[in-house]
Amino acid sequence: MKKICAILAAGTALTAVPAFAQDATPAEAFGGFHAEALVGYDHIRSGSSEDVDNSRDLKQSIDGVEFGGAVGYDVPLGTNLVVGAEAEITDSSAKRDYNNDQPTVFNLGRVDAGRQYYFGGRVGYAMSPATMVYVKGGYSNARFNLQGTDGTTNLRQRLDTDGYRVGAGVEQKMGSNAFVKLEYKYTNLSDAEFDFNGSTPDSSRFSIDTDRHSVMAGVGVRF
């Protein structure tokens, strides 16, 4: 009798294991801390569609490769919903050199897109334990390195800008912990100030209208 009870108990335990595994939801596959590397296409342009010069077209955009990394933490809610917070830092190769034959709408000499910070949140929908689609939004701070010259004196300064970002993407698990992602993000920069070198005081804040479109690929690990 004791042997029969032991066999029944063992059988009950074995059937409970797959039942417990089946209780895991698709959203739980995307919970926890993650870190990732990012690279993609970066397009920055004036937000105005108006030509600011009546006699010739001005170069209104700069393009390059954006690269950097991000960290975040996601929490599963219910069966499919995932919410999380993330932080990102990137740099860009986008730049433009000023010359009289090809003036730029920036009107600030040489323009280099510098580092960009982002802090925000995202909401995802786990379509399966391996695939999640998501939308995101938050605050962005971007720096542009500027250099102007009158032929004798070079003036270097930084344009520090603030704005918001929205975006959407898809994340695909690769194995138990790794993942890849593809994401589109739009950033609108609406406030700025000039940060001067040396003892020169920074400028007051002023309004701008600059759009930034990026398509990024990422590879990461979830812990």
CB-CB contact of 126 with 27 (8 Å): yes
Lowest pLDDT segment from 34-43, 76-85, 124-133, 148-157: 148-157
Which of residues 1 and 223 earns the better pLDDT score? 223
Fold assignment, 26-222 = Porin (2.40.160)
| pTM of the full structure | 0.79
Tens-place pLDDT, residues 201-221: 667 788 888 999 999 999 999
State mean pLDDT over 147-167: 76
> What is the four-CA torsion angle of 46, 51, 57, 59, rounded to 10 degrees?
-10
Looking at residue 20, its pLDDT comes to 40
Looking at residue 26, its pLDDT comes to 96
CB-CB contact of 221 with 35 (8 Å): yes
Percent of the chain surpassing pLDDT 90: 57
| The pair of three-digit structure tokens given for residue 65, joined into one six-digit string | 């490769």
